[in-house]
Every structure is written in structure tokens, then in C-alpha cells.
Amino acid sequence: MNIRSVDIYILDIPTVRPHQLAMHTITAQSIVVARITNEAGLEGWSEVATIGGASYGEGTPEAIKANIDKYITPLLIGKDPTHFSKIMFEISKAVRGNHFAKAVVEEAMIDLVAKSKNIPAYELLGGKIHDSLPLAWTLASGDTGKDIEEAKEMLQKKRHKIFKLKIGKGDPHKNIDHVLKIIAAVGDQARVTVDVNQAWDETTANYCIEVLQDGGVSMVEQPLPTWDNEGMARLTERFKLPIMADESANSVHDVFQIIKHRYGNCIALKPCKHGGLMETKKVAAIAESSGFGLYGGTMIESSLGTAACASVYATIPELEFGTEIFGPMLFKDSITVNDLQFENFEIIIPDGPGFGMEIDLDKVKHYARGYSYNLS
């Protein structure tokens, strides 16, 4: 059954609390949702997210939608989605970059094909190795006391025992103080990592990471800007704690260079950065071949995008740093009828057809900017 139509929606969904990163504070998350319909009327759905307009990275929801509508949709219409790898190869020849746009259409095709075969999407990716995966939570309320309360609640509910702290905004000394207070409060029961989101220069990173390492932080994510790969290599050489490449680790080619030159020593996976689930598996394989540790990352997708991430992460042999696909818990509302399950500090890999999520169309209509259904 070939593809009849492609609909791309931008949805703005409020978060349960402000989520403060170095460059932006999220109060409503903008997600991009794809619906690909075949000639029989069967639908595949998927989602990617960006953070803070153009402040986190080059990809914006508006650009993702515009580029799919104009350049990618014509390459999808009339094609058999069963051959999603061939279609993505053809798209890669006509459309440079645009990884988020490529990811959301590839994932919608995978959801559609898996549903048409009545199997979970992970069966199209080699099958799952894990039934559940460890799940970190990001403490980013912008207030140390509130973060400590939140961490204690998560521990008590057996939701999370890995906490990633978003730092990099404001005075680095205050950032350090904030991290050390949280470690003093919950460090005996939880692993604490930090994500600087490119906010430091190398000099700042040198003195901050030294204190953080001595204070018990177990990993530092993207301390330097993406242009400063050589600085990342020097930090990796200097410190014992792992230095993770996130914003700098996009295509398979980027990741190969990071590994070759040790611009970090572990990688945050995110299907949207890599351009889809198949590309994510390639990145994971390169990392595995070199002994680099992996992290199942998020761009803070809601339940649909998180289920897609979970489906591919479940097929990767080892995620040394676990995952952080907590997105659904940060959203005030859901666009799926069913929810993902979280148990005993882990996320359960959904087993239903496709990504295992049933779309709540009324919610999509409610949150989508200018909802319309394309019957082309």
C-alpha cells in the first residue's frame, strides 16, 4: 500500500513547570508531529521536538515543517513505505542536512509499516534486546530547593535515581554551588550528571569540571560550544569523568570524527539529531566499535516521540548511561490515548503495534497550529 498523504503539524503543549536550560527556559514545548497515510487509510504517526526556537540548534519547528512540505513530501507520495530505507536514501540525495525533518518522516513510515504488519516497530529494527531501560530525570526548575524536593520525590516514587542537572546559565560559581547542594542532599541515593549545553569556554570548563569531578558528578554533557572540538578533546584527556558529546554529535560522519579524535568519550543518541531510527543504529554501532559509552537522549518529546526513541534504544546492546526519555512526564497534557509505563526507575518498552501509541486526534487538533487534513 503506497503513501497517499503526508501531514505535518506543529503543536505547542505547556509543561508542568518551567524547564531552565543554559540558553532558554521551556514553558511550552513545541513538537512537530507527522501523519503518513497509505492508500488503505492506515496511518503512521511520529514526533520530533526542538528546544527554544532557534536558540538550542539550527532546527526550528517552522523550518522542519516548511522543508518537509516543500521538499520531502513530494518524494514520499506514491512510494511503498515498506521500503523506508530506500526512500530515505533517495531523500538524502535530494535534501541535505535537515535531520529532524528526515527523522520525523522516517519514523512515521516505520510506525505505518509496523502497524500494517501488526508488530511493534522494534521488530523492524532487529528486535528488542531490552524490555525496559534505566531512566534519568532532568532537574531544571531554576531553583535549588525545588530541585532537591523534586529529586527526593522521584526517588521515593522509584521513578528516577539518575539526575541530570541543567547548568551553564549565569555565574559558573553559582552553578557549582547548586550542583554540590543537590549532591549533598541526594548523592548517596542517586547518580548526578550535568549538562552545560555549550555555555562555557575552555577556561571556565577547566576549573568548574575539576570541582564537579571532586564533588562526585559522574558525567559532563557538552560543556563547550560545538565549534570547539579541540577544547572538548583537551577536557577529555584531562579529566577522569566522562565528557559527553551531544549537540556536536549529529550525523554518522560527525560521530566518526568525534570518536577518531576523542572530542569527548561518550555520545548522547537522539534519533532526531541523527536523521532517524536507522541512522541512530549506525551511530550506536560506530560508538560500540570504539568502546564509547552511549546515552539514550531526548529532545523532550511527548509520549509519541518518546515511544519512538524507546523502540530504537531497546535494540541497542548497551546504553552505559541509561536513557533520559522522561519527556512525557514534563508535559501537562498528552496527544496519545495510552501512556508509557515507568516502573522501578525504568521505562518499559511499549509492545503494541508500531510505536505502541494510540493517537488522540482531538488533542492533536486542540494543540496544532492551524490543523488541517491533507487529502492529496
List of residues contacting Mg ion (CB under 5 A) = 195, 221, 246
Q: How far apart are CA 148 and CA 185, in angstroms?
A: 7
Q: Is 166 a catalytic residue?
A: yes
Neighbours of 290 (CB within 10 A): 14
Measured in whole angstroms, the distance separating CA 280 from the mean position of its chain's CA atoms is 11
Q: CA quadruple 111, 300, 196, 146: dihedral positive or negative?
A: negative
Q: How far is the CB of 205 from ligand MUC (least distance, A)?
A: 16
Is the separation of the CB atoms in 22 and 166 below 8 Å? yes
Q: How far apart are CA 250 and CA 353, in angstroms?
A: 29
Q: Of the listed 164, 166, 169, 273, which one is catalytic?
A: 166
Give 45 or 292: the residue with its C-beta nearer to Mg ion: 292
Task: Return the residue of 3, 87, 113, 140 that touches ligand MUC, per CB under 6 A.
Answer: 140
Instruction: Please tell me whether residue 261 adopts helix, strand or coil conformation.
Output: helix
28: nearest Cα among 15, 19, 16, 17: 15
Q: How far apart are CA 306 and CA 226, in angstroms?
A: 25
Give which of ligand MUC, Mg ion, none residue 310 binds (C-beta under 5 to 8 Å, depending on kind): none
Task: Return the residue of 107, 150, 228, 324 that touches ligand MUC, per CB under 6 A.
Answer: 324
Task: Return the residue of 98, 141, 175, 197 that touches ligand MUC, per CB under 6 A.
Answer: 197
- Asked if 111 is part of the footprint of ligand MUC (rule: CB under 6 A), the reply reads no
Q: How far apart are CA 169 and CA 200, in angstroms?
A: 9
Considering only residues 221-250, where is the footprint of ligand MUC by CB under 6 A? Answer: 246
Those residues whose C-beta lies under 8 Å from the C-beta of residue 107, and which sit 6 or more positions away, are 34, 46, 47, 48, 271, 276, 277, 308, 355
Q: How far apart are CA 259 and CA 85, in angstroms?
A: 25
Task: Return the residue of 11, 249, 300, 314 that touches ligand MUC, per CB under 6 A.
Answer: 300
Task: Return the residue of 20, 38, 132, 138 that touches ligand MUC, per CB under 6 A.
Answer: 138
Give which of ligand MUC, Mg ion, none residue 140 binds (C-beta under 5 to 8 Å, depending on kind): ligand MUC
Give which of Mg ion, ligand MUC, none residue 324 binds (C-beta under 5 to 8 Å, depending on kind): ligand MUC
Give 305 or 354: the residue with its C-beta nearer to Mg ion: 305
Give 37 or 138: the residue with its C-beta nearer to Mg ion: 138
For ligand MUC, which stretch binds (CB under 6 A), given 81-89, 106-114, 297-305, 339-347? 297-305
Residue whose beta carbon is closest to ligand MUC? 138
Q: How far apart are CA 174 and CA 237, in angstroms?
A: 26
133: nearest Cα among 322, 307, 265: 322
For ligand MUC, which stretch binds (CB under 6 A), given 208-216, 291-299, 307-315, 338-346? 291-299
Q: So which residues are the catalytic ones? A: 166
Binding site for ligand MUC (CB under 6 A): 51, 138, 140, 166, 195, 197, 246, 297-300, 324
